[in-house]
Amino acid sequence: MAKGMVRVPVREQDPKVRATNFEEVCLGYNQEEAMEEATRCLNCKNAKCIEGCPVSINIPAFVQEVKEGNIEEAYKIIGQSSALPAICGRVCPQESQCEGKCIRGIKGDPVSIGKLERFVADYALEHDIKPEGAKEQNGYKVAVIGSGPSGLTCAGDLAKMGYDVTVFEALHELGGVLVYGIPEFRLPKQKVVAKEIEKVKELGVKFETNVVIGKSTTIDQLIEEGFEAVFIGSGAGLPMFMGIPGENANEVFSANEYLTRSNLMKAFDSSYDTPIAAGKKVAVVGGGNVAMDAARTALRLGAEVHVVYRRSEAELPARVEEVYHAKEEGVIFDLLTNPKQINVDENGNVKSMTVIKMELGEPDASGRRRPVEIPGSEYDIDVDTVIMSLGTSPNPLISSTTKGLEVNRRKCIVAEEESGQTSKEGVYAGGDAVTGAATVILAMGAGKAGAKGIDEYLKNKEK
Ligand code: FAD
Ligand code: SF4
pLDDT beyond 60 at 1: no
Q: What percent of the chain has pLDDT over 70?
A: 96
C-alpha 252 to ligand 1 mean position (Å): 22
The per-residue pLDDT for 41 is 97
- Read off the pLDDT of residues 376-423 as tens digits, 9 standing for 90 and up: 999 999 999 999 999 999 999 999 999 999 999 989 999 999 999 999
d(CA 446, CA 306): 35
Closest ligand to C-alpha of residue 396 is 1
Confidence of residue 271 (pLDDT cuts 50, 70, 90): confident
Confidence of residue 19 (pLDDT cuts 50, 70, 90): confident
- CB 170 less than 6 A from any atom of ligand 1: yes
C-alpha 182 to ligand 2 mean position (Å): 29
Residue whose CB lies within 8 A of the most ligand 1 atoms, among 217, 440, 441, for a mutation test: 440
448 sits in which H/E element: helix 440-462
- CB 173 less than 6 A from any atom of ligand 1: no
The per-residue pLDDT for 319 is 87
Among residues 371, 283, 374, which one has the least CA distance to residue 332? 283
What distance separates the 2 farthest-apart alpha carbons in the chain? 71
The count of other CB atoms within 10 Å of the CB of residue 78 is 25
Among residues 243, 247, 281, 451, which one has the least CA distance to residue 382? 281
Whole-model pTM: value is: 0.91
- Residue nearest atom 1 of ligand 2, based on CA coordinates: 41
pLDDT beyond 70 at 334: yes
- CB 286 less than 6 A from any atom of ligand 1: no
d(CA 378, CA 338): 9
Buried/exposed code over 198-235 (b: 16+ C-beta within 10 A; e: otherwise): ebbeebbbebeeebbbbeebbbbebbeeebbbbbbbbb
pLDDT beyond 90 at 266: no
